[in-house]
Structure 1
């Protein structure tokens, strides 16, 4: 069997392509790129790109999913290192901010303007808000945090996260998404500390 026919080689090559696509899209955005542009920059054929998705729109959505999957793994790894309820919430939100800090303003704009990618971002924002709610509930149950309504605190956090995701915070305050998440973590943890 040739090397290129082994399933593990194909999976490794797919992951390498997705990683390269993520890097390209995060740096430059994607709305202005054609599949020909992408293939030329990656030094691969368009048929190779079609093995990842059937169209440019599909490719953008798959790359966005790959980015958020990897970001979620990184965020959860950071969370696992933290101890104490306030530290865990801060670590979580700061890690989300760091994951997004790799994205250029053009990528964030393109993602906001492209419904399939925006949908992936929205789904991940909802997941992150639910994760924050769980962390708050855990902290309240342990007595590490003052007795706040975890659902309300998470809803308030979620609303801010959605505004960050939509670019509203950036437009009104000038804060990049990563910095906005850091500020959110600071304000939230100050408000719920015991």
Structure 2
């Protein structure tokens, strides 16, 4: 059984720095030597965080999406009503993705381990949007739409955003695409 890794303030700061670096520049072109030099640490320090570059990038991606999810959920605390909650949620998703460069998104799409993290988070977010729609329909705040259908359409759009298909077909970055999805859903419901 593996010994649990203690998360120290230094490790959290290192993950935060790593996340900022890969969001800004992507990660496919960076080696462990590059990462160590850019993060002002040794390779052995990085190996204490993960056993390989691939695992390090995956862990940093998990770190990013975990923090993003916390921020997105926190944004709902001030939202009142179904439309406001859906809009706030989707705009918060877009806002959390805003720091992610096009290179990071391309690298994410091309990396199976880190891409799986984004895919899993997209599925979770899609279920959350479906839940918000269902709650709004049941409360009578949204028109009597088939909530599962509308949620499924939202989920399909979110998956297309995650898979870079929306960017390819429209030129919209992920953050802007989420804002447009929020407008479509809240004004159409």
How does the TM-score come out when normalised to structure 1? 0.93
* CA positional deviation for 1:14: 1.1
Q: Which residue of 2 aligns with 1:161?
A: 158
| Aligned-partner Cα distance in 2 for 1:157–1:38 | 37
CA shift digits 1:105-136 (9 cap, x unpaired): 00000000000111000100000000001111
1:110-121 map, 5 Å: 110-121=107-118
How does the TM-score come out when normalised to structure 2? 0.95
Q: Which residue of 2 aligns with 1:20?
A: 17
| Aligned-partner Cα distance in 2 for 1:126–1:166 | 12
Uncovered stretches (5+) of structure 2, i.e. residues with no partner: none
* CA positional deviation for 1:81: 1.5
| Aligned-partner Cα distance in 1 for 2:25–2:156 | 28
Let me know the Cα RMSD of the aligned residues. Answer: 1.2
Alignment pair present for 1:99 and 2:99 = no
1:126-137 map, 5 Å: 126-137=123-134
* CA positional deviation for 1:28: 0.3
Alignment pair present for 1:175 and 2:172 = yes
* CA positional deviation for 1:148: 1.3
How many residues were matched structurally? 185
Alignment pair present for 1:32 and 2:29 = yes
Q: Which residue of 1 aligns with 2:141?
A: 144
Which residue among 63, 67, 72 is the counterpart of 2:69?
Answer: 72
Alignment pair present for 1:83 and 2:80 = yes
SS of residue paired to 2:143: coil
CA shift digits 1:14-72 (9 cap, x unpaired): 11010000000000000000000000011101111011110000001000000000000
* CA positional deviation for 1:191: 1.5
| Aligned-partner Cα distance in 2 for 1:102–1:61 | 18
Runs of 4 or more consecutive aligned structure 1 residues displaced over 4 Å after TM superposition: none
Q: Which residue of 2 aligns with 1:55?
A: 52
